Amino acid sequence: MTEQKNTQTAGMAFMGMIFFLFGFVTTFNITLADKFKAVFELSNFQAQLVNGAFFFTYFLLAFTAGGIIKKIGYKGGVILGLILVAVGSFLFFPAAKMLSFPFFLFAIFIMAGGVVFLQTAANPYVTALGPSASASGRLNLTQALNSIATYIAPLVAGLFIFKSAAEAALNTAENVPTTPFLIIGIVVIIIAIAIYFLKLPEISTQGVEKKSVWKYPHVVLGAFGIFCYVGAEVGTAAMLQRYFQEALGIANTQAAMMIALYWGGAMVGRFYGSFMLSDVKESKKYIYTVLVLLLALFVGWFVRREITDGLIFAGIAFVNYLAMRLGRGNASRSLAVFGLIAALLLVVVMLAGGPVILWLGLSVGFFNSIMFPNIFTLGVEGLDKGELSMASGLINTLIVGGAVIPVLMGLIADSIGVRFAFILPILCYLYIVFFALVGSKRR
């Protein structure tokens, strides 16, 4: 029993590292949209093609990746994913030399291919690595580690990518920094080599395939839930960055840094989910809650080094905790509560004006927090282990929502204004409420 627990702990540690890595790569690429907009003088629609190139890869590769992983195993899938991330990172060098926006998109596409393999392998691995009753808690924990990376990535982008106003006037393709991608490429190659020689717990990809995963309604509806969630999360982050600049007169550097709090809210919420949606004793939950609130205070303070920001952010974190309590530890109920709150917040952001939109907009990140792990857990509930990799491939295919929704939001922003682009994520969150209450029921 002790040996099995140690093996599971090693597996979770390994997964935490992978979730951190693909979280950083994903969010760092998302922040590039504004840089490319300035460098190549693009419209909002054209700039969102950066997100399109990244997330469209899921549509092309995720289901195929599920089939490949079924043959080579989760460990092999992770190593293949890491190699693709490294190749894509190194391609940023010739893209900068050629001064080519399409080549940059191609490099992003290759990196995204690697992330597809990492994510398609990682989610079912964590789900299968222990009791199904606590699968949502394990996924929330690894997603919390993913969110640490998504919080850090915009801060790094603010330092490396966005320059002062004077330097911005001199923007050229050569000024798209390649150093961060060199570092990413080297690090992931080292990790891939280490994992190749590392002994990890084996999770079987074989099993009795009762029927095609397409015949499970909750899997298909869950996949569309992921489409809506990723599209809403990515599109909201991208448009909030533009909206803060237009409505509040915030410089792009500061707007990019503040978006770190949007992702930081997701991190805080996922730490809540890691113990609120698990079998942790109630007395320990209160202790962990205090620790998470202290983390929120630090995260809120860190971006601008203002204690007021920290207190506001911790206050929002406490509201997020109360919303989590409304979920009563139930994955579907918690998902419905969070989806409804996220939709209402964006309605107010769209209709309101003034400084209030800053913190209301950033608050959406808190309520995105448990959506991916809960939708995924509900979507694969009851499946045989042999069906998990294919179901994961299908669900991850619909992460293409991160390509479709932001691009459509870019079109709306260009046509009738940035604030009206938030109509799309509002509709997405309302669908997630439907899935939580109705679509996730196994039939």
Are the C-beta atoms of residues 414 and 391 closer than 8 Å to each other? no
Are the C-beta atoms of residues 334 and 317 closer than 8 Å to each other? no
Rg over CA atoms, the chain: 20
* DSSP one-letter code for 439: I
Q: Closest Cα to residue 153, out of 264, 250, 50?
A: 264
* Other beta carbons less than 10 A from residue 215's beta carbon: 10
* Other beta carbons less than 10 A from residue 160's beta carbon: 18
Give the integer Cα–Cα distance in Å for 429 and 324: 17
Residue 327 Cα distances to 28, 86, 370, 415, 428, angstroms = 32, 40, 11, 39, 20
Torsion sign, CA atoms 152, 157, 160, 163: negative
Residue linked to tokens 């000024």:
175
Q: Closest Cα to residue 65, out of 350, 416, 389, 407?
A: 389
- Domains for the chain: give ranges and CATH numbers: 2-439 (1.20.1250.20)
Give the integer Cα–Cα distance in Å for 175 and 198: 39
Residue linked to tokens 């002062």:
164
List all residues 6 or more positions away from 89 whose beta carbon is below 8 Å from its beta carbon. 107, 111, 181, 182, 184, 185, 188
Are the C-beta atoms of residues 366 and 144 closer than 8 Å to each other? no
Count of CA atoms in the C-beta half-sphere (13 A) of 23: 25
Residue linked to tokens 């079987």:
204
Give the integer Cα–Cα distance in Å for 14 and 11: 5
Count of CA atoms in the C-beta half-sphere (13 A) of 426: 14
Position 5 scores a pLDDT of 60
Residue 62 burial (10 A CB sphere; 0-12, 13-18, 19+): buried
Query: What is the model's pTM?
Result: 0.78
Position 164 scores a pLDDT of 39
Would you write out the chain's pLDDT as a tens digit for each of its 443 residues?
555 565 667 777 777 888 888 888 888 877 777 777 777 777 878 887 887 888 888 888 887 887 888 888 888 898 999 999 999 999 988 887 887 888 988 998 999 999 989 888 887 778 777 776 667 778 777 877 787 887 888 777 767 665 533 344 445 555 666 778 888 899 889 988 988 887 766 766 655 455 567 788 889 999 999 999 999 998 999 899 889 988 888 887 788 788 889 989 988 998 898 888 777 788 888 999 999 999 999 999 998 889 999 999 999 999 999 999 998 888 899 999 999 999 999 999 999 888 889 999 999 999 999 998 899 889 888 777 667 777 877 888 898 898 899 889 989 999 999 999 999 999 999 999 999 999 888 77
Residue 308 Cα distances to 298, 313, 413, angstroms = 11, 9, 32
CA 329 to chain centre: 22
Residue 412 Cα distances to 327, 421, 425, angstroms = 34, 5, 12
The count of residues in the chain is 443
Give the integer Cα–Cα distance in Å for 295 and 298: 5
**Residue 223: its H or E element:** helix 217-248
CA 428 to chain centre: 16
CA 108 to chain centre: 16
Give the integer Cα–Cα distance in Å for 317 and 270: 11
